[in-house]
Amino acid sequence: MTGDLTARDAIPLLTLKGVGRTYNVGDSETRVLRDVDLEIHEGDFLAILGPSGSGKSTLLNLLALLDRPTVGKYHVNGDDVTGLGERQRDALRSDMFGFVFQASHVMTEESSARNVALGLRIQGLGHREREKRIRPALERVGLIHRTDAPGKNLSGGERQRLALARALATNPKVLFADEPTGNLDVANTKRVIDELRSLNAQGMTVVVITHDPAVAAAARSQVTIVDGVLVQSTEKRASSSWNSHAIKPDVADPTASVPSGRKPGHWQGVVDDVYDALTALTSRTGRTILLIIAFMLGSGGLVLSVGLSQTASAQVSERLARAALDELQVSLSASGSQAYDSSGTTPSDQRNRIEGLDGVVDVGLRYDMASKDLKPSRFQPGLAVHEPTFAGSLLAVDSHYLELNDVVVEPASALSLLDESFGKPVALVGRETAVRWGISAAGPDQKIWVAGQPVPVVGVIESPGRNQLLSDSIVMGIGDFRQPVLTDPMFIVRTVPGFPAPLSEAVPLALDAAHPEYFKVSTVADLRSLRRGVNTDLSVFIGVLSWVLLALACLSSATSMYLTVQTRRSEIALRRAIGTSRASIRRMFVFEGLLVGTGGGLAGGAAGMAALLVFCLQQGWTPVLGLEAVAMGVLAGAVTGVLAAMYPAISASRADPAQAIRG
Ligand code: ADP
């Protein structure tokens, strides 16, 4: 009796004084517990009995710091914990209490060992210490042969024993059990009762809610609640079987140093959160792959669009730099335009004069024609075929112009037809125009319409050489048109490299020594300012599209994660109940978003580069892509991944453990 007296005289482990709990549902108030006074001493085995709805779970939740009393005080080891903050309550639960609920709340995708480790992780124990505790706990409940089996493969009885192992591995001071045998058959019920008894015999305090007379009989003392009031308390002191010193919990005096938040092993905690996120992703592979693809399309598109504009810009720079060395363009100035009409000098005279100058290699002649007047079309105008207006270039040129631009025409013989079409108009079309208009190759049966006349297509410009505009163009011979259609000729002068500058002064004088001002000469160097404006329509389009795709990826990922939060409610509830902080729950989901987003971003970076390579191979361009563009793609994926996880993470962390455990 002396030992008992010592224990009884000591400060009770748990003390409720005048505790009440009221729920507000709509406008009405329900008092679920009233004026409860209760003392639980270290080493007690208390059964809480009472009809359904009488307030047993509410009482247990208050004792276990899963809920707060509306009135009254709660002391743990003599310290008032009624007003403790959320983090301290989380830490206290994790350090002092173990839980077994009617539903086992095991993590179905994780092994038994990982399930048992959960509480140990929350306590901040390192990997080695966890390993030391997992096996004995599983052995104790007879599940050692199921160590690696995922929770979903265990039977109901096994799951409940696993829940018990999870609780006892943390060596709690108090084990709370809410109808632990409610779903079990006779054999498993007996096993759980024996285990509770034996834990209590070793000094663990056990508080159990039960309807089961066998469980109630195992307890040392019982309280009964009716309508929220403690009506009866019986005590049987079978002292023979207990010895409060048999087990020494790790936590010596839990309230003496009420934990203040995260414990040591912070990095271990972060590693665990990442591991949890990875498990969540790998256990739902189909969903994960779809999400990664969504992020991949978005960030891959970004990388591709940046790559395209960088490549196109480099392409133009290179071409301009090359052209600046050996090209001049000569046209009539405004005053020259009028004078030219009356001078009687033909363009071919002028061409010969330029060609005669030193340093000139070749001279090509080009007229830009107005599409809006000549209305080129694929089909005969007036037929009821609706065609979009031709948006490419409509030119009249001589064969020199095409040659000095290094244009490749198929068939090559079409070039000479341009100069000598025997009075009949003929046309070459650019490859892009040909594709758009469904002209597979030049031939006698292929014709287009210009100025209301049929024009045979004698060749296709397969490669536009130095002038990209020729890809989408209709090119006709100069002889096919007369004034006034052809006004303002432009001479393209190919020079020996380095000659554009001196020739730019010599050409106007050679053309008209009296009126050099009639002519305007520009070197390509003058056009360099154009470089700034280079931004292909394609890359702008892909850029916009990829932001839209990223937004969609973000949205679908958020939705999917939110749905996952719903399906993992039970697991999240358990994590919260056994002491996982809200921050840790948030981290778990944010890491999940980060991993999916970064994975998608990396895949997108690779896919974007591959797409750029294929595109450039097709165009014959040299791909240019700064590494920072790839990094941006990955970053965009990661950031949108995290953004997508925000709402689900917050919503998961908000779950109130007491409510969530009820389901
Ligand atoms: P028991 O465990 O004895 O079956 P509970 O403690 O679960 O009883 O519930 C006691 C009463 O409190 C019940 O009438 C229940 O409906 C009510 N109750 C429990 N939780 C809430 C809540 N969050 N909001 C409103 N009423 C609640």
Q: What is the DSSP string of 198-223?
A: HHHHTT-EEEEE-S-HHHHHHSSEEE
Contact indicator for 322, 498 with CB cutoff of 8 Å: no
Q: How many CB atoms lie within 10 A of CB 408?
A: 13
392, 513: one domain: yes
Range of the domain at 363: 326-529
Nearest CA to ligand 1 atom 26: 23
Residue 38 lies in a domain: no
Q: Cα(247)–Cα(168) distance, rounded to whole angstroms?
A: 12
Give 382's contacts (C-beta < 8 A, 6+ positions apart). Answer: none
CA 294 / ligand 1 centre spacing (Å): 44
Element (H, E) at 23: strand 14-25
428, 288: one domain: no
DSSP state of 72: E
Give yes or no for residue 539 having a pLDDT over 80.
no
Convert the pLDDT of each residue in 461-504 to its tens digit: 999 888 888 999 999 888 766 555 677 789 999 998 888 888 88
Contact indicator for 237, 4 with CB cutoff of 8 Å: yes
305, 469, 546, 605 from 539: Cα distances, Å? 4, 17, 10, 16
Q: Cα(89)–Cα(94) distance, rounded to whole angstroms?
A: 8
Convert the pLDDT of each residue in 144-168 to its tens digit: 999 999 999 999 989 999 999 999 9
Convert the pLDDT of each residue in 245-260 to its tens digit: 333 333 333 333 334 3
Assess whether the C-beta atom of 51 lies below 6 angstroms from ligand 1.
no
Nearest CA to ligand 1 atom 25: 23
Which residue, 308, 288, 305, 306, is CA-closest to 553? 288
Residue 466 lies in a domain: yes
Nearest CA to ligand 1 atom 15: 53
Nearest CA to ligand 1 atom 7: 57
363, 287: one domain: no
CA 52 / ligand 1 centre spacing (Å): 9
For the residues 79-95, what does the mean pLDDT come to? 90
Give me the number of domains the chain comprises.
3
Give yes or no for residue 7 having a pLDDT over 80.
no
502, 367: one domain: yes
Contact indicator for 467, 481 with CB cutoff of 8 Å: no
> Looking at beta carbons, which pairs linking 265-270 to residues 24 or more positions away fall under 8 Å?
265/124, 265/125, 265/126, 268/121, 268/124, 268/126, 268/127, 269/121, 269/124, 269/584, 270/587
Of 495, 529, 563, which closes a domain?
529
Assess whether the C-beta atom of 23 lies below 6 angstroms from ligand 1.
yes
Q: Which atom of ligand 1 is closest in space to residue 225's alpha carbon?
A: 3
423, 480: one domain: yes
CATH code, 224: 3.40.50.300
Convert the pLDDT of each residue in 388-402 to its tens digit: 888 889 998 988 999
pLDDT at 251: 36
Residue 257 lies in a domain: no
Residue 566: pLDDT band with limits 50, 70, 90: confident
376, 388: one domain: yes
CA 208 / ligand 1 centre spacing (Å): 17
478, 552: one domain: no
Assess whether the C-beta atom of 50 lies below 6 angstroms from ligand 1.
yes
278, 289, 489, 572 from 285: Cα distances, Å? 11, 6, 65, 20
User: What value, to the nearest 5°, has the Cα angle with vertex 551 and ends 546 and 554?
Assistant: 125
Assess whether the C-beta atom of 54 lies below 6 angstroms from ligand 1.
yes
pLDDT at 280: 84
Side chain identity, residue 301: G
608, 650: one domain: yes
Residue 431: pLDDT band with limits 50, 70, 90: very high
Q: Which atom of ligand 1 is closest in space to residue 25's alpha carbon?
A: 25
The pair of structure tokens assigned to 570 is: 């039970």
CA 81 / ligand 1 centre spacing (Å): 23
For the residues 332-352, what does the mean pLDDT come to? 75
Nearest CA to ligand 1 atom 5: 55
Say whether the peptide bond before residue 264 is cis (omega within 30 degrees of 0): no
Residue of 23, 67, 208 to test ligand 1 pocket, by largest number of atoms within 8 Å of CB: 23
Residue 271 lies in a domain: no
524, 536: one domain: no
pLDDT at 384: 66
Give 116's contacts (C-beta < 8 A, 6+ positions apart). Answer: 133, 134, 137, 138, 162, 165, 166, 169
Residue 638 lies in a domain: yes
363, 494: one domain: yes
pTM of the model: 0.65
pLDDT at 549: 83
Q: Cα(182)–Cα(193) distance, rounded to whole angstroms?
A: 12
Residue 7 lies in a domain: no
Contact indicator for 45, 221 with CB cutoff of 8 Å: yes
pLDDT at 167: 94
User: What value, to the nearest 5°, has the Cα angle with vertex 198 and ends 238 and 150?
Assistant: 155
Assess whether the C-beta atom of 24 lies below 6 angstroms from ligand 1.
no
pLDDT at 247: 34
CA 56 / ligand 1 centre spacing (Å): 8
Convert the pLDDT of each residue in 17-69 to its tens digit: 999 999 988 888 899 999 999 999 999 999 999 999 999 999 999 999 999 99
183, 288: one domain: no
Element (H, E) at 20: strand 14-25
Of 241, 265, 298, which closes a domain?
241
21, 433, 467, 570 from 439: Cα distances, Å? 83, 8, 21, 64
Of 192, 212, 241, which closes a domain?
241
111, 146: one domain: yes
Convert the pLDDT of each residue in 369-422 to its tens digit: 888 888 899 888 877 677 888 888 999 898 899 998 889 998 888 888 877 756
The pair of structure tokens assigned to 116 is: 């048992």
CA 106 / ligand 1 centre spacing (Å): 24
Nearest CA to ligand 1 atom 21: 23
pLDDT at 1: 39
pLDDT at 532: 46
Q: Cα(435)–Cα(450) distance, rounded to whole angstroms?
A: 18
DSSP state of 525: G
Give yes or no for residue 244 having a pLDDT over 60.
no
Mean pLDDT score of the chain, rounded to an integer? 84
Residue 434: pLDDT band with limits 50, 70, 90: very high
Q: Cα(219)–Cα(422) distance, rounded to whole angstroms?
A: 115
For the residues 583-600, what does the mean pLDDT come to? 92
Residue 75 lies in a domain: no
Residue 266 lies in a domain: no
Contact indicator for 14, 39 with CB cutoff of 8 Å: yes
Residue of 58, 102, 227, 229 to test ligand 1 pocket, by largest number of atoms within 8 Å of CB: 58
Assess whether the C-beta atom of 30 lies below 6 angstroms from ligand 1.
yes
